[in-house]
Structure 1
Amino acid sequence: MFSGMLLIFAPLVVGYFLSFKNARCLHVINQSTTYLIYIILFLMGLSISALDNLDDNILEIGKYSAVFIGLMALCNFSVLPIVDKLLPMNAAASKQHVPLHHMAMDSCKLLFVVGAGLIVGILQPYRLNWVASVSEGVLFLLLFFIGIQLRNSGLTLKQILLNKRGTLIALVVVVSCWVGGVLAALVLHLPILQGLAMSSGFGWYSLSGILMGDAYGPIFGGSSFIIELVRELIALVLIPLLIHRRPCTSIGYAGATAMDFTLPVIQTTGGVHCVPVAIVSGFILSLFVPVFMLLFVSLSTL
């Protein structure tokens, strides 16, 4: 019954057990991962364009996205400040300057890629039956590269387990996102397991959009992508404003991006003391995304 989950999860596991020491090889893998993400997002736009009643479906994507974003954020911000009280930490600003508007534009580029696929799909006259199979093949390759990246991130299991603050932040984010996902499912009259799957993206917009699109169709794939991308954009704005008073809350809301995309903002506005916490929290959440998404998808199809 879990054959579909194992089929998708296998490339990630295989990649994780491969260790590369060559810096040039790792650079090629990192670049290839970026290109594959753009390809898949473009294909996502194509698949959305093939939907019947496109105008109504885009409104559906907006509705699902807004409900999940609102309720998950409410749950996150309700409990993450408790971590700041239980395990207080001091944040000190760095002298470096990060142009936040440039980083926000990098996020918006992803929306532009999806939009480009949508426009191309609407304008071209051919059927798009091939998009699903091509997307699945690219997804397998992407998961393989992501597994390699996680293995070569430099974190050992001991380092993760000993950083109790980063681990606790990750666990609080997981549980609070699930509560928000269940509430969103109830509001939207969706199956609870689907709500749990949709709320298990933890900020990893590219992978969550791909997995949800493959499992539930382009409407939910597009919704999941927007949910997690908006999380990242909100985090870029809130981290400089909150990190001195609520460092754990700021790191937690950044989700899986705390170990990569939003890490420079965390470091420059919160100081180097925040970096290990952010990396551990982001690493755990990144590892959890494919595990829990695929688990809930498999359970929902029983």
Structure 2
Amino acid sequence: MYSGVFLIFLPLIIGYLIALKNEQWLDRINKTVSQLIYVILFLMGLSLSALDNLSANLQTIGLYTLTFFLAIGTCNLASLPFIDKWMPVEACSNSKTMPIHLMALESAKLILVVGAGLLLGLLMPFQVPYISSASESILLLLLFFIGIQLRNSGLTLKQILLNKHGMIIALVVVLTSWCGGLIAAYLLDIPLTNALAMSSGFGWYSLAGILMGDAYGPVYGGASFFLELLRELVALIAIPLFIRRYPCSSIGYAGATSLDFTLPVIQSTGGVRCVPIAIVSGFILSLLVPVFMLFFISLGQ
């Protein structure tokens, strides 16, 4: 039961053991990760096109996405404001505000890539063979590079442990996301392990969609991808509106993306004091996404 999951998890561990100091190599790895994500998401679109009764499956994807989004978001936002109350952080706005439409453009590109794969698959008179095996091979390579990225993110264990805000925010996000996942499992009548795995994406849409798709098929993969992508898009809009009054809640709702994608918005609207908290919280959640997803997947297999 655990051998297949360990085989997928192994490249991440090996990558995390590699410390790189060459900035050129790190830049190449970052670019390669971006390119591999586009390839896998395109293959996800092709897989969706091969589903029987496609319209019904797309409705299922929409239902799963909306149910998990509302359940997890409600649980997150019901708990995160208590951190702002008990451990207040003084946020200060900067003079420049990051244009949200520019930040959302990258997310739109990813949706278009999935859509392009789906459209091509529907237009072709034959099914593309070996999509599943190709996706799994690329996934192993992607996890290896992601492990290298996490190791070379610049954070030491001491820096993480000393930032109590970041650690507590990450802990609250994890626990409340699982609570939301359990609620969604009850509403949708799906296995608890599937729901807990899906609720462990913490905003990392590309990896979450890929892992869920590899384990449970394109319906779960598509739903997980759109769930986390929707969370990120809402975070981009909500952070500038609420970060001055609720900095910890805003950072927490951003999930794993507070380490990279939403970090410029957090910095420009919340000030420099929010940056270390966002980086630590985002790093912990990014590290936990593959760990918890693969763990719950292994329990359900």
Aligned twin of 2:51: 51
Note the C-alpha offset of 1:97.
3.0
Aligned twin of 1:236: 236
Correspondences of 1:109-188 after superposition (within 5 Å): 109-188=109-188
Aligned twin of 1:67: 67
- The residue type equivalent to 1:19 in the other structure is A
Note the C-alpha offset of 1:125.
1.7
Note the C-alpha offset of 1:199.
0.2
Note the C-alpha offset of 1:128.
2.8
- The residue type equivalent to 2:134 in the other structure is V
Distance in structure 2 (CA, Å) of the matches to 1:207 and 1:281: 18
* Length-normalised TM-score, structure 2: 0.99
Identify unmatched segments of 5+ residues in structure 2.
none
Is 2:296 aligned against 1:289?
Answer: no
Note the C-alpha offset of 1:225.
0.1
Task: Work out the percentage of aligned pairs sharing the same amino acid.
Answer: 61
What whole-Å deviation, never above 9, does each CA across 1:64-108 have from its counterpart, x for those lacking one? 101000110000000000111111001001123311111112111
Residue 90 of structure 1 aligns to a residue in which SS? Answer: coil
Distance in structure 1 (CA, Å) of the matches to 2:152 and 2:111: 29
What whole-Å deviation, never above 9, does each CA across 1:231-283 have from its counterpart, x for those lacking one? 00000000000000100000000000000000000000000000000000000
Note the C-alpha offset of 1:129.
3.4
Aligned twin of 2:197: 197
Distance in structure 1 (CA, Å) of the matches to 2:164 and 2:129: 48
What whole-Å deviation, never above 9, does each CA across 1:201-221 have from its counterpart, x for those lacking one? 000000000010111110000
Note the C-alpha offset of 1:124.
1.0
Note the C-alpha offset of 1:188.
0.2
* Length-normalised TM-score, structure 1: 0.99
- The residue type equivalent to 1:204 in the other structure is W
Distance in structure 2 (CA, Å) of the matches to 1:218 and 1:293: 16
Distance in structure 2 (CA, Å) of the matches to 1:284 and 1:29: 21
Is 2:99 aligned against 1:99?
Answer: yes
Distance in structure 1 (CA, Å) of the matches to 2:268 and 2:97: 7
- The residue type equivalent to 2:113 in the other structure is V
Distance in structure 2 (CA, Å) of the matches to 1:131 and 1:174: 32
- The residue type equivalent to 1:243 in the other structure is I
Q: How big is the alpha-carbon RMSD for the aligned residues of Structure 1 and Structure 2? A: 0.7
Note the C-alpha offset of 1:127.
2.0
Aligned twin of 1:27: 27
Note the C-alpha offset of 1:22.
0.8
Residue 117 of structure 1 aligns to a residue in which SS? Answer: helix
What whole-Å deviation, never above 9, does each CA across 1:120-148 have from its counterpart, x for those lacking one? 11111222331100000110111011000
Note the C-alpha offset of 1:170.
0.2
Distance in structure 2 (CA, Å) of the matches to 1:128 and 1:4: 24
Contact 2:243–2:250 (Cα < 8 Å) also in 1: yes
